[in-house]
Amino acid sequence: MRTGDKPVNTSSPLLMLGVLSISFLMSVSNAVSGTIPLMKQYFSNISEANVELLVVIPTGGVLLGTVVSGLISNKLGKKYTVLMGLIVSLIFGVIPAFFYSYPAIFLSRAMFGVGMGIFTPLSVSYITDIFPERIRNRLLGWRNSVGAIGDAIMLFIAGFLINVSWHATYLVFLFLIVPIVLVALFVPKRLDRVTVEEGKEVEEDSDIRPSTNGGVIQLAIVFLFVCLFYSSISLKLASHMVDSHIGSAADATRIFGFLVLCSIVSGIAFEQLAKWCGKATVFIFEMLTAVVLIAMPFANSIPVLLVLVLVAGFCNGIINPALTARMVAYSPKGSMNLTTSIILIGINIGSLVAPYFFQALGLILGNRDSGFMILCAGVCYILLAFYDVFIVRKDKLTI
């Protein structure tokens, strides 16, 4: 049903800023990962694995939050759901700065992840629901850039706070006040239950119950494997460099630091590259990623590895928004939030199982060398690329 003929100003910079600000925090652990050694000293009576669990447990919380996000959104609407998730993450994110017991920090970190899981699906559905395709692809690319910029800012702030104490590092999550204010001020509540078609608001049918289909599940599985194989870089490259006497773990860390810049550049370039490459976008950049991963084990210098990692990071920054854009084609009407939640579950499962996948693959193939695992991931990307050709033709996708 038409709610009015007044065009929606989808080109409003303030509306775009408010929607993109939801993606300021896309990483659940980067900002505070440097506290692990200090926490190990503080919790000397706690096992090392349990201390490290404090950094990764938010991922489990994200899965729970993602599941309930749609239910909350149906009751409160998009805007209040986003604000609720951001506020939950803010409150529980800073608790370790004031309460030092292990159970309190464990619970706060889990709930921090739940808050992230609540608002993150809406960072995508807002873009796909209220912006036309011309602007949508641009914002999906910018979303990655905004997340990278947010990570960079929080890492920068955390670098100062950790010099005060590991407790103080968790104050970095006060940064979430920024998206809370921007969403509250610049994202209208009236856009909760509308989609925009040809510049006009169309009210969502409240009788439509969110649903899913095989296309959405298929896309979630593709995201899972993309995340799984790309994880070979973060999981195996440092060990490969040390084992091959190319460089130290510190050298690998410095290389990874440049990936933030890659994400920013690829996010900005995505719209234009998607226009040039069209329906072959994912295939081209998955094949390029495959070439880079296969080449990594044979590189014998830090500069060469740096270039290869940067190319892989750039490609990943194109593949992700390209796959995200397909959610519009697959998602049933009125179900974008549920679709996004399913996709995020696939991504998080890919991250969680990656270490065990490569461990099992090494045992099966009889070679657990880190470089060989990266090469195997490259071969898997070739399979993904050709599968994408099949999917694009079968489903008549435009990107």
**Span 375-397, average pLDDT:** 95
Beta strands in 286-373 (DSSP E): none
Helices (H), 77-161: 78-94, 102-130, 133-161
**Is residue 338 located within the same domain as residue 233?**
yes
Q: Cα torsion for 83, 86, 92, 98, to the nearest 10°?
A: -100
Beta strands in the chain (DSSP E): 194-197, 200-203
pLDDT band at 92 (very low <50, low <70, confident <90, very high): very high
Verify that 121 and 222 share a domain, yes or no. no
* Residue 2 placed within a domain: no
Give the three-state DSSP class for 337.
helix
Tell me what the mean pLDDT of segment 147-165 comes to.
Answer: 85
Tens of pLDDT, residue by residue over 173-200, are 999 999 999 999 999 998 887 776 665 6
What percentage of the chain carries pLDDT values higher than 90?
53
Q: Which of 122-136, 252-266, 359-373 has the lowest mean pLDDT?
A: 252-266
Buried residues in 158-172 as b, exposed as e (16+ CB within 10 A): beebbeeebbbbbbb
- The values of phi and psi at residue 201, to 5°, are -80, 135
DSSP per residue, 339-353? HHHHHHHHHHHHHHH
Q: Which of 82, 153, 93, 182 is nearest to 123 (CA)?
A: 82
- Residues with Cβ within 8 Å of residue 307, at least 6 apart in sequence: none
Q: At what angle do helices 133-161 and 102-130 cross, to 10 degrees?
A: 160
322, 391: one domain: yes
**394 pLDDT above the threshold of 50:** yes
Whole-number pLDDT of residue 129: 86
Distance from C-alpha of 80 to C-alpha of 57, rounded to nearest angstrom: 25
Residues 256 and 143 in one domain: no
Sign of the torsion angle spanned by Cα atoms 367, 372, 373, 375: negative
For residues 233 and 337, membership in a common domain is answered with: yes
**Residue 97 within any structural domain of the chain:** yes
| Band (1; pLDDT cuts 50, 70, 90) | very low
Lowest mean pLDDT among 46-55, 184-193, 385-394: 46-55
β partners of residue 194? 203
Instruction: Using alpha carbons, select from 320, 290, 323 the residue that is nearest to residue 395.
Output: 323
Q: What pLDDT, on a 0 to 100 scale, did the predictor assign at position 176?
A: 94
C-alpha to C-alpha distance for 312 and 305, rounded to whole angstroms? 10
Q: Are residues 176 and 236 in the same domain?
A: no
Q: Locate 173 and state its tokens.
A: 């999550």
Question: Is it the case that residue 91 has pLDDT exceeding 70?
Answer: yes
Predicted pLDDT of residue 352: 80
Domain end point (choices 203, 228, 259): 203
CATH number at residue 273: 1.20.1250.20
Q: 2-34 burial, b if ≥16 CB within 10 A, otherwise e?
A: eeeeeebebeeeebbbbbbbbbbbbebebbbeb
Is residue 3 situated within a structural domain? no
**Domain match, 274 and 377 both:** yes
Mean pLDDT, range 305-334, rounded to an integer: 92
Q: Supply the range of the domain harboring residue 102.
A: 13-203
Same domain, 20 and 117: yes
Segment 110-135 mean pLDDT = 90
Please state the domain count of the chain.
2
- 257 or 165, greater pLDDT: 165
- Among 5-14, 228-237, 306-315, name the one with the lowest average pLDDT: 5-14
Last residue within a domain, chosen from 171, 203, 235: 203
Residue 209 lies in a domain: no
Residue 245 Ramachandran class (φ > 0 left, ψ -120 to 50 alpha, else beta): left
**Residue the block writes with tokens 């060990």:** 239
Q: What's the pLDDT at 200? A: 65
Residues 127 and 276 in one domain: no
Average pLDDT over residues 195-220: 77
Q: Are 258 and 188 part of one and the same domain?
A: no
> Would 378 be classed as within a structural domain?
yes
> Where is the domain boundary, 152, 181, 203?
203
Work out the average pLDDT over 212-239.
93
Lowest mean pLDDT among 19-23, 151-155, 223-227, 244-248: 151-155
Does residue 383 lie within any of the structural domains?
A: yes
Mean pLDDT calculated for residue range 30-56 = 80
3-state secondary structure of 329: helix
pLDDT at position 8 over 70 = no
196 and 242, same domain (yes or no): no
Asked if residue 6 is part of any domain, the answer here is no
Which pLDDT score is estimated for 210? 79
User: Which of 269, 393, 377, 248 has the alpha carbon at shortest distance from 319?
Assistant: 269
pLDDT, residue 4, reads 47
Question: Distance between CA 108 and CA 13 in Å, rounded?
Answer: 35
**Residue 230 CB: number of other CB atoms within 10 A?**
23
Is residue 1 assigned to a domain? no
Q: Which amino acid type is present at position 277?
A: C
Q: CA–CA separation, 234 vs 148, rounded Å?
A: 16
Whether residues 307 and 159 share a domain: the answer is no
- Give the pLDDT mean for 15-37: 82
